[in-house]
Structure 1
Amino acid sequence: MKIRHLRNATTLLTLGEHRLLVDPMLSEQGAFPGFKLFGGGRRPNPLVALPPGTFALLEGVTGVLVTHEHPDHLDSAGRRWIREHGLPVWARRVDAPNLRKKGLDVHELEDGALGMAVEFIPSRHGRGLLSWLLGSVSGYYLAHPDEPSVYLTSDAVLTDEVLEAVERLQPDVIIAPAGAANMGLGGDILFSVDELVTLVRRAPGRVVLNHLEALDHCPTTRDGLRERMKAEGLLAKVHIPEDGEELHFERPDTLPHPRPKARASKGPGLQKWVSARLTGT
Structure 2
Amino acid sequence: MEIQLVRHATLRVTYANRTLLVDPMLSRAGELAATPNTPNQRPNPLVELPVPAESVIAGIDAVLVTHIHRDHFDQAAADLLPKEIPVFCQPQDRERLTECGFLNVTPVADEIVWEGIRLGRTGGRHGTGDIGEKMGPVSGFVLRAEGEPCLYLAGDTIWCEEVERAAADHRPEVAVVFAGAAQFVTGGPITMTAEDVVCLAGACPSARIVVAHMEAWNHCLLSRSELRAHLRERELDGRVLVPEDGEVMRFDKTLP
TM-score class, shorter-chain normalisation, is over 0.9
| Aligned equivalent of 1:144 | 145
| Aligned equivalent of 2:129 | 128
| Aligned equivalent of 2:69 | 70
Question: What amino acid does structure 1 have at the position aligned with 2:64?
Answer: L
Q: Please, which runs of 5 or more residues in structure 2 have no aligned partner?
A: none
Separation in 2, partners of 1:10, 1:20: 10
Separation in 2, partners of 1:201, 1:207: 11
| Aligned equivalent of 2:192 | 191
Q: Please, which runs of 5 or more residues in structure 1 have no aligned partner?
A: 256-281
Q: How does 1:1-281 map to 2 (within 5 A)?
A: 1-38=1-38, 40-83=39-82, 86-105=84-103, 106-109=105-108, 110-203=111-204, 204-253=206-255
Query: Quick check: 1:31–1:44 contact (8 Å CA) kept in 2?
Result: yes
Separation in 2, partners of 1:57, 1:70: 19
Query: Quick check: 1:178–1:196 contact (8 Å CA) kept in 2?
Result: yes
Separation in 2, partners of 1:83, 1:54: 13
Secondary structure of 1:117's counterpart equals strand
Q: What's the TM-score once normalised by structure 2's chain length?
A: 0.94
Identical counterparts, % of pairs:
35
CA shift at 1:88, angstroms?
A: 1.6
CA shift at 1:104, angstroms?
A: 1.1
Separation in 1, partners of 2:36, 2:143: 32
Question: What amino acid does structure 2 have at the position aligned with 1:59?
Answer: A
Secondary structure of 1:175's counterpart equals strand
Q: Deviations over 1:109-165 (max 9, x none)?
A: 333234222221111100111111111101001111121110001000111121121
Secondary structure of 1:112's counterpart equals strand
Structure 1 stretches (4+) deviating beyond 6 angstroms? Answer: none
Query: Quick check: 1:90–1:107 contact (8 Å CA) kept in 2?
Result: yes
Separation in 1, partners of 2:191, 2:31: 23
Query: Quick check: 2:6–2:56 contact (8 Å CA) kept in 1?
Result: no
Secondary structure of 2:34's counterpart equals coil
Separation in 1, partners of 2:74, 2:186: 24
Query: Quick check: 1:32–1:46 contact (8 Å CA) kept in 2?
Result: yes
CA shift at 1:98, angstroms?
A: 1.6
- Structure having the larger proportion of residues in helix: 1
Separation in 2, partners of 1:54, 1:95: 23
Separation in 1, partners of 2:178, 2:158: 9
Q: Deviations over 1:144-200 (max 9, x none)?
A: 112111000100011112112101211010000110001212211011211111111
| Aligned equivalent of 1:275 | none
Query: Quick check: 2:16–2:116 contact (8 Å CA) kept in 1?
Result: no
Alignment size in residue pairs: 252
Question: What amino acid does structure 2 have at the position aligned with 1:215?
Answer: W
Separation in 2, partners of 1:112, 1:152: 17
Question: What amino acid does structure 1 have at the position aligned with 2:89?
Answer: A
Query: Quick check: 1:83–1:103 contact (8 Å CA) kept in 2?
Result: no
Separation in 2, partners of 1:164, 1:21: 26
Query: Quick check: 1:21–1:61 contact (8 Å CA) kept in 2?
Result: yes
Q: Deviations over 1:219-253 (max 9, x none)?
A: 11111111110110111111111000000000012
CA RMSD, aligned part only? 1.4
Separation in 2, partners of 1:238, 1:32: 31
Secondary structure of 1:83's counterpart equals coil
Secondary structure of 1:209's counterpart equals strand
